[in-house]
Structure 1
């Protein structure tokens, strides 16, 4: 019965519902109050508010991403809009699962490298678009960002990255 309660609490945490404080602290970090714990306690939202926040943030992110296609031939504007859309879409999931859970999932050993490459590619794209203002570098950074976004997204699907890796190796294998 204890395992059922723990599983139920984890499901509630995953969808962003309120969990019992003692269960949450015993399951997570017993070290005490960190900044993220305090931030999560101050940012309590109802389930309806979480869904609205998620929907609005995701819609804004997708809108920015789609609008970036209109300025595709202006790589600097495209890079800014595309990256801002990605940031909004990435932040939308924090409404559902909470910012602490979002950061913990992003720093999970399974996806730490995908997260690092994805965030670094966003920074490089914004740097090339805003500071360097080089169209070719911005376009290359956006291609890197798009690839990193796909790889990062695949990290949430079980066995997806290994399957894609095997397919790519089979497609580009030069031995007969």
Structure 2
């Protein structure tokens, strides 16, 4: 009876705490070489999708929708590619860090709004505007990983104005 009580209360003699995220991380562990290859493949797929989307922009009738889908898919693949290097949980933590949170929110919002404007609202101008904002937010997000890069960009723009 004591053994049953211990098992039901979680004290079955096994003092190791099982963390679901840790188990998932251990189960999906990739070698460094595999991670780099997956990063390169995902990033290359993102670049190809973005270029393909830009080329499909000029297709009459459905060009804008194809552009929005492929350009957005390209940005998502490029962003997801870094998860192979750092791991998904670490990447999500970095994306939500104080210095990147605003850029992440703007980028994800623009990703969604691009697709909404192409499919639901069918507004070509808004879709292109949101693609431009996607690019700017993605660039600002990427600059946050380079020390003092954002400050340098801001100084250049204030100097030009």
1:36 Cα offset (Å): 4.0
Report the counterpart of residue 122 of structure 2 in structure 1: 133
CA–CA distance in structure 1, aligned partners of residues 109 and 78 of structure 2:
17
1:76 Cα offset (Å): 2.2
Runs of 4+ in 1 over 6 A off after TM superposition: none
CA–CA distance in structure 1, aligned partners of residues 47 and 148 of structure 2:
26
1:138 Cα offset (Å): 0.6
Report the counterpart of residue 58 of structure 1 in structure 2: 43
CA–CA distance in structure 1, aligned partners of residues 21 and 57 of structure 2:
38
Candidates 25, 28, 31, aligned match of 1:43: 28
Other structure's SS at 1:132 match: coil
Larger radius of gyration: 2
Structure 1 unaligned spans of 5+: 1-30
> Whose RCO is larger (CA < 8 A, sep 6+)?
1
With normalisation by structure 2, the TM-score equals 0.80
TM-aligned CA distance change 1:36 to 1:114, over 3 Å: farther
CA RMSD after TM alignment: 1.8
Q: Deviations over 1:66-117 (max 9, x none)?
A: 1112123333221111110010011111111110111111111111111111
Other structure's SS at 1:45 match: coil
Candidates 137, 157, 161, aligned match of 2:146: 157
Aligned residues: 141
The correspondence of residues 29-40 of structure 1 with structure 2, limited to 5 A, is 33=19, 36-40=21-25
